[in-house]
A and B are shown apart, each in its own frame.
Chain A
Amino acid sequence: MKKVFSKKKTISVISVIMLISLWKLASFLYDSELILPSPESTVVTTVKLLFSENFLAVIGATIFRGLIGFLISFFLGISLGIWAGINQNFEAFLKPILVTIRSTPVISLILLALIWFSVDFVAIFIAFLTMFPFICTNVIDGIKNVDKDLIEMAKIYKVDHLRIIKEVYLPAITPFIFSGASSAMGFGWRAIIIGEVLSQPKFGIGTLMQTAQTYLLVNEVIAWTIIAIIISSLFELVIRKVEHAVVNWK
Chain B
Amino acid sequence: MSLRINKLYKSRHEINLFQDFDIEIKEKTITCILGPSGCGKTTLLNMISDTVQPESGTFEGFDNKVISYIFQDPRLLPWKTVKENITFVLNGLYPKKEVEKIASTYLRLVELKEFSGFYPAALSGGMKQRVAIARAFSYPSDLILMDEPLKALDLKLKLNLMKSFRRLWQSDKRTVLFVTHDVDEALLLGNEIFVFSKPPVNIKEKFTINLKERTLNNPEITNLKNKIWEVME
Contacts and interface: CB of A to CB of B under 8 A. Distances in A.
Interface of A: 149-150, 152-160, 163, 167-168, 171-172, 174, 247, 249-250
Contacts, number: 45
A159 B77 contact: no
Contacts of B121: 249-250
Interface stretch (B86-94, B173-181, B189-197): B86-94
- Counting chain B residues whose Cβ lies within 8 A of the other chain, the interface size class is 20 to 34
Q: Which of B69, B73, B78, B139 has the most CB of A within 10 A?
A: B78
Interface string B87-108: 0110110000000000000000
A249 B79 contact: yes
B88 A249 contact: no
A167 B77 contact: yes
Interface in B37-86: 49, 51, 66-69, 71, 73, 75, 77-80
B69 A153 contact: yes
Nearest to B90: A157
A111 B122 CA distance: 54
A250 B120 CA distance: 9
B103 to A, nearest CB: 14
23 contacts: A149-B73, A150-B77, A152-B51, A153-B75, A154-B88, A154-B89, A156-B51, A157-B89, A157-B139, A158-B66, A159-B88, A167-B77, A167-B88, A171-B79, A172-B79, A174-B79, A247-B79, A249-B78, A249-B80, A249-B119, A249-B121, A250-B78, A250-B121
Contacts of B77: 150, 167-168, 171
B211 to A, nearest CB: 31
Q: Which of B66, B79, B88, B135 has the most CB of A within 10 A?
A: B79
A150 B89 contact: no
Interface in B114-147: 119, 121, 135, 139
Interface of B: 49, 51, 66-69, 71, 73, 75, 77-80, 88-89, 91-92, 119, 121, 135, 139
Contacts of B79: 171-172, 174, 247, 249
Interface of B is mostly: loop
A156 B88 contact: no
Contacts of A171: 77, 79
B80 to A, nearest CB: 8
Contacts of A158: 66
B82 to A, nearest CB: 11
A156 B78 contact: no
Contacts of B139: 157
Ranked 3 nearest A-B pairs via Cβ: A157-B89, A171-B79, A249-B119
Given A157-B69, A167-B88, 16 more contacts: A150-B75, A150-B77, A152-B51, A153-B71, A153-B75, A156-B49, A156-B51, A157-B89, A157-B135, A159-B88, A160-B92, A167-B77, A171-B79, A174-B79, A247-B79, A250-B78
A171 B91 CA distance: 18
Contacts of B75: 149-150, 153
Contact of A157 (B68, B73, B80, B119): B68
A152 B52 CA distance: 11
A250 B92 CA distance: 27
A249 B77 CA distance: 10
A159 B135 CA distance: 13
A157 B91 CA distance: 11
A172 B79 CA distance: 8
Contacts of A247: 79
Nearest to B92: A160
A157 B66 CA distance: 9
Nearest to B120: A249
